Amino acid sequence: MASGGTAPYSWGWSAAAGSSLPPGLNLASGTGVISGIPTTVGSYSVVLTVADSRSPAAHATVNHTITISAAATLTITSGASPNGVVGIRYGGSHIIQGHQIWGFILSATGGVGTYSWGWTPASGSSLPPGLTVKVLFFGGSTRCCLYVPVISGTPTAAGTYNVIVGVTDSGSPPANASASYTITVSGSGSSVTAHTITSKQSFAQPRTRYSLIDLGTFGGPQSYVNIPDISYAPVLNNSGTVAGWADTLVPDPYPDVCFDGDCLVAHAFQWQHGVRNDLGVLSGGVSSQANWISSNGLIAGISQNGEIDPLVPGFPEFRAVMWRNGQITDLGTLGGGYESIATSVNGRGQVAGFAINTTADPDSMFGLGFQTRAFLWQNGAMQDLGTLGTGTNAMALLMNERGQVAGNSYTSSQPSDTCAQAEVGTLATDAFLWDNGVMTDLGNFGGTCTFAFDLNNRGEVVGGSRLAGDQEQHPFLWNGRKLIDLGTFGGTLGTAIALNDNSDAAGWASYSGDQVFHAALWRNGKITDLGTVEGDSASFAFSINALSQVVGVSVPPGGDFDSAHAFLWDAGLMIDLNTLISGGGSLRLTEPETINDRGEIAGNGFDADGNQHAFLLVPCDEQSTTEGCDEVAADSMPQFNGNANGAVTRRSEFFQQHIPMLRSSRHRSMRGAVPQLVPSRTSVPQ
């Protein structure tokens, strides 16, 4: 950093005798940030120079000593490899930081910097046909970045294979390590048992039927609607228009930093009146994603632009974008940065989100190592909304039709383990409401982590807040004047997820002992237990409409998300949505994301091959002519492979891996950082 003179400053380093940067490090001339991955052990004296922008320029120098120590020995630590089956995705499905990962996950310790992975085609080493060794990249919607090396693919030939996997670090010279794995691939179908997914008897008899519309793909295997990790996002409006994104069959040109887990190019789409429209990408870009749709069909999201971030080697830049009538607009960035994300948009074309600037910050909310700043974009310009207190980072996540913006901001440099575990950030955080140039701190219940989940058109906000000591978390409503504790079912935990314009909120709360979690509705100062689908032990509410109809997920005992049920709660009755599909449908519905005021529901489900597909449910009335509204017998429901090739196991795995660590989910099942879920096999307290 520099002070005095006339900004902006120009930085450099002197190549005089005895002055050198450690190999692998670089100095950004515009910011003075030294970054990179050191490759050589040693002690380096660096003479830094800075010049201001006057004419003639003023100059200053400073000496720094940077010591690079040796790294630990590079070692592969993956453990034993699983066997496979011809025609079935290898390695199963795993959830890491909310991302679905297919394959056998590789790991290593020691060495320097990032790793490169591959298999060694030596004598006696061969990969099973159909499998590859690669590194998956996940950028996430609010956190970055995750690199996962895997052996993945679908085996095509039976046999026993010896695979030598190698890893190389980025040192100079590079270190290498290898490990040998034996993979046995059995014949097709030898471990697959088909079964029929049958309707579970619900507490409620179906009062309406739905036409299920599979929103499909652009030729690839999967499609999605947005399920953010730390906020609600409408993906369906009251006109029945859906926003999402879908795979193509084109391989991602950035194989080390793939846009999604399939490592295929994906494009944002708008589904309207039976037609799925490809929204495209920015000029030069490859992939895009739709995050939010407004009441009049404006869509906010992100698009790659074909450039590589000069501050993060190898990382493809992405920009906040808005689609209006199918036309894409690049919203830009803040502070000279290279990445931005549009999280929300209203009918007036105002867009909220966050951007990464060029100020180095190890506590970056997004995670790239640079400050994260909340923005409002309107009339062609992006505005930094600031932060709370002495905080340095903020994210704008929600926007209403009045142009109010809600999100989260650091408030100080005080560390917060609970916020870090919930992937909200690493420092003390409060929720904020920004209105007409003023950012208001919504306060807290005494803890270090408070986060916003939804914002209505009355300027009310719901979310979760830790109590003093950070051991308890209660749902809150900000009513424009104060933070109100909405209460739980007697336990210490809960979060309000969604909010309508009648001030009715939906989410989840625990009973005494924090072993039973049920979906909750807060209305007129009272909390209602929405119950579960019969035989299940836990439930979580995701979305609520103007009629206070609620959708969410109901989970069997043991946290068995393999058999979770997407539910609709209406006027006191909870119904398994999978039992209401006219014709039985082609998908198993697992994540209902948005219910609009017409009772239409959008979300994600799985097909018989375990691929995730975005869906839309349209209610059928008695005279309905909607396609798919024919009556069918209950026993004509479709058949699915045993675990949908492992796909629907991701929720139970996610609970096992993340809930004990207080992590919030990119899958709404445990939004708000449920700390532990060991569902009781006994009845819920009355």
Query: With bands split at pLDDT 50, 70 and 90, how would you rate the model's confidence at 653?
Result: very low
Which comes out higher in pLDDT, residue 140 or 29?
Answer: 29
Q: How confident is the model at residue 97 (pLDDT cuts 50, 70, 90)?
A: low
**How crowded is residue 18: how many other Cβ atoms within 10 Å of its Cβ?**
10
Query: Residue 672 in contact with residue 507, Cβ under 8 Å?
Result: yes
Per-residue pLDDT at 600 exceeds 60:
yes
Domain 75-186 has CATH 3.40.50.150: no
CA 431 to chain centre: 19
Model confidence pLDDT, tens digit, residues 464-514: 999 999 999 999 999 999 999 999 999 999 999 999 999 999 999 999 999
Query: Given 1.10.40.30, 3.40.30.10, 3.30.420.40, 2.130.10.120, which CATH number is that of 196-670?
Result: 2.130.10.120
pLDDT of residue 145: 61
Say if CB 610 and CB 641 are below 8 A apart.
yes
Pairwise CA distance, residues 13 & 22, whole Å: 12
Whether 371 shows a pLDDT value over 60: the answer reads yes
Q: Please say if the pLDDT value at position 676 is more than 80.
A: no
> Residue 100's pLDDT is what?
61
Q: How far is it, in rounded angstroms, from Cα 360 to Cα 44?
A: 21
Please report where in the chains the tokens 């000029």 appear, as a residue.
283
Predicted confidence at residue 195, as pLDDT, reads 22
Q: What is the mean pLDDT of residues 617-644?
A: 52
Distance CA(206)–CA(567), nearest Å, equals 12
Q: Which of 11, 14, 10, 114 is nearest to 63 (CA)?
A: 14
474 and 485 Cβ atoms separated by less than 8 Å? yes
Residues near 340 by beta carbon (within 8 Å), at least 6 away in sequence: 302, 318, 319, 320, 331, 332, 333, 334, 353, 354, 355, 356, 375, 382
Amino acid at 184: T
Residue type, 120: T
Q: What is the pLDDT of residue 630?
A: 55
Query: What is the average pLDDT across 15-40?
Result: 78
Q: How many residues does the chain have?
A: 686
DSSP label at 38? -
Q: Is the pLDDT of residue 623 over 50?
A: no
Q: Where are the domains of the chain?
A: 10-68, 75-186, 196-670
pLDDT value, residue 686: 27
More confident residue, 325 or 681: 325
CA dist 441 to 138, 284, 434, Å? 31, 40, 9
Band (381; pLDDT cuts 50, 70, 90): very high
Amino acid at 655: F
Cα distances from 3 to residues 47, 59, 152, 548, in angstroms, run 18, 12, 52, 56
Torsion of CA 610, 291, 244, 648, to 10 degrees: 10
When mean pLDDT is compared across 13-22, 79-88, 229-238, the lowest value belongs to: 13-22
Q: Is the dihedral of CA 297, 302, 307, 310 positive or negative?
A: positive
Average pLDDT over residues 258-275: 93
Residue type, 84: G
CA distance 212 to 579: 11
**pLDDT one-digit tens code per residue, 156-205:** 999 999 999 999 887 778 889 999 999 999 985 433 222 222 223 333 44
What is the DSSP pairing of strand 339-345 with strand 351-360?
A: antiparallel
**438-454 average pLDDT score:** 97
- CA–CA distances in Å: residue 227 to residues 243, 497, 561, 603: 12, 12, 17, 9
Q: What is the mean pLDDT of the chain?
A: 84
Strand segments, DSSP code E, in 19-111 are: 25-27, 34-36, 42-51, 59-68, 75-76, 84-85, 93-96, 99-102, 104-105, 108-109
Q: CA 602, CA 605: separation in Å to the nearest integer?
A: 10
| Alpha-carbon span 144 to 262, nearest angstrom | 18
